[in-house]
Structures are given as structure tokens and as C-alpha cells.
Amino acid sequence: MSEIYAIGDVQGCFESLQALLKQLPLQDEDRIWLCGDLVNRGPMSAEVLRWAMAQGERLRVVLGNHDLHLLSAAAGKRKAKARDTFQDVLDADDREELLGWLVRQPLAVREGEYLMVHAGLHPSWMAEPVLSIAKQCEDALQSGMWHAAWKRSRPIPPVWCESLEDTDRIASALSVLVGVRAVYADGRLETGFTGPPEQCPDGARPWFEDSSCDATVIFGHWAALGLHIGEKHVGLDTGCVWGDRLTAMRLSDRAIFHQPSLESRRAIG
């Protein structure tokens, strides 16, 4: 049987990724999923992208907020920040190939009972509509109109509702897919919070507490949540870039593989 190994946020930690892959009992027919934020904060973003490009059909990834930030900075739409560490991509001889590959990646991937997104879902979203909403965002990435939406999504994105259109719709959808951690009862995202779930601001709850999505959702983005294995929600960001570890889960039996971070001494900020 072909297996899927889902891996948490790599963020330029190429050496940890390679070490984790060596641990996995990968067979030729097996697949690898990366749940987004392939780049930034760690030391080797370009190498992660080169490796990902070379995997072909064996690899599926979804885009995360750091991936979008890189694409935005590369297009001159947003300034890189002092803490950003993706200059290796911007200066690379193969920059256009790397960025061209990245911008074609999806925001949601579904296979069977599994749905992968970077951050999470709006509590009202079921699996099929998520793919349709993600497709609208992917079309916006191809057309370039997403830059206006990405700008509109911060600091306070439009609250998701099905009737949103155009820039507001993409802004709201992107803010959820690549940014959500906690949500208020009225559907607003808590946008500034990055702490552990038990410290959610008053009135906000982790998005998955109120999700009724009819798929098992594989996500990353929330390092302070750590490895989170719920019945229908699996969080895999275990803070490799912050010196903790990189985690993989074999989806069929939920076997977990850990690689302690090899980049902690060099990670910036």
C-alpha cells in the first residue's frame, strides 16, 4: 500500500528535513506532504525549494504565510523584514524557477479522508467548499490580484462569509488558510495571538474546537500548539526552526517520527 508521510513546517531547515527523511521507511510508491512554510526564519530556504521541485509527483505541498510573504517580497509588493532569511532565494541564479514553482502550489490538498492546509479552516467550512475557496485563491495567485488581497488581509481581515466577493473574499480566505489559530464566536479571527491554546484571548477558541469539517485536517503553523493529534485534526508544527524538532506522521496508522532540530544554533529571531 502506498503511504503518505505528512511533515510539519520546514522553514528553511533543510538539514533537519534531510535527516528526518532518512528516518522514514519510504518506499518508491510512498508520498510526502509538506504542510506549508517551506521557507523563512531558517538558514536554507533555497535548498528546501530546490529539493521540493526535484521530488515531482511524489511530493504535495500547500503554501503557508511565509511562502506568500516571500512571493510578495520577490514581486516588490512587500518589504522583507530584518528577521526574514529568504535572501538566498531572491539572490539565487535559479530564482525565477524557484519562485515560479512556488507560486503554482496549492493552498489546500485533499486525498481520501485527508485535507491538508497550512493553518486551518473557518469553523463553517466543509472539505469540498474548502477546495473551491482554495482554488479561487490559487487563481488569484496566478493572476497577481492576490497582492491587493494579501495587503487587505492585514492587520484585520474581512470576516468570512459566503457572500464576500473579489478582494475581500480572497483576503478573508487567505487569512484563514495561512493564518488562523484562534477564532471568536462571531467568526472573527484572532490575528495577533501566537501563544499556546490554553492562553487564547477571552472569547476566542482554537479554530479546530468548533470545526465540523468532514475530513481529517492536517495542518501546521501553530508552533506553540506543538504536536496535536485530535480525532479529526492533526497539527504538525513542532517548532523545528525555533530549536525544537521536525515531525512527520504516517497518515495510515498515525505513526510519528521526530528529528531534533539541527538548525537551532543558526536560526535567526
What residues make contact with Mn ion under the rule CB under 5 A? 37, 64-65, 221
| Comparison of 194 and 252: residue with beta carbon closer to Mn ion | 194
3-state secondary structure of 163: coil
| Comparison of 94 and 228: residue with beta carbon closer to Mn ion | 228
What distance in Å separates the CA atoms of residue 108 and residue 231, rounded to the nearest whole number? 20
Rounded to 10 deg, the angle between the 95-103 and 65-74 helix axes is 130
Instruction: Give how far Cα 82 sits from Cα of 13, 86, 268, Å.
Output: 18, 11, 10
Closest CA to 127 of 216, 223, 7: 216
| Comparison of 169 and 221: residue with beta carbon closer to Mn ion | 221
Measured at the CA of 53, the angle between CA 50 and CA 59, to 5 degrees, comes to: 125
In the complex, what is the shortest distance from the CB of residue 175 to Mn ion, in angstroms, rounded to a whole number? 12
3-state secondary structure of 110: strand
In the complex, what is the shortest distance from the CB of residue 220 to Mn ion, in angstroms, rounded to a whole number? 6
Contact 219, 119 (CB under 8 A): yes
| Comparison of 80 and 185: residue with beta carbon closer to Mn ion | 80
What distance in Å separates the CA atoms of residue 184 and residue 169, rounded to the nearest whole number? 19
Q: Which three cell numbers stand for residue 262?
A: 539541527
| Comparison of 177 and 212: residue with beta carbon closer to Mn ion | 177
In the complex, what is the shortest distance from the CB of residue 41 to Mn ion, in angstroms, rounded to a whole number? 10
Q: Which residue is nearest to Mn ion (CB)?
A: 221
In the complex, what is the shortest distance from the CB of residue 11 to Mn ion, in angstroms, rounded to a whole number? 8
In the complex, what is the shortest distance from the CB of residue 162 to Mn ion, in angstroms, rounded to a whole number? 25
| Comparison of 123 and 239: residue with beta carbon closer to Mn ion | 239
User: Whats the size of the chain, residue-wise?
Assistant: 269
Contact 264, 13 (CB under 8 A): no
In the complex, what is the shortest distance from the CB of residue 9 to Mn ion, in angstroms, rounded to a whole number? 6
Instruction: Give how far Cα 170 sits from Cα of 21, 129, 145, Å.
Output: 34, 14, 9
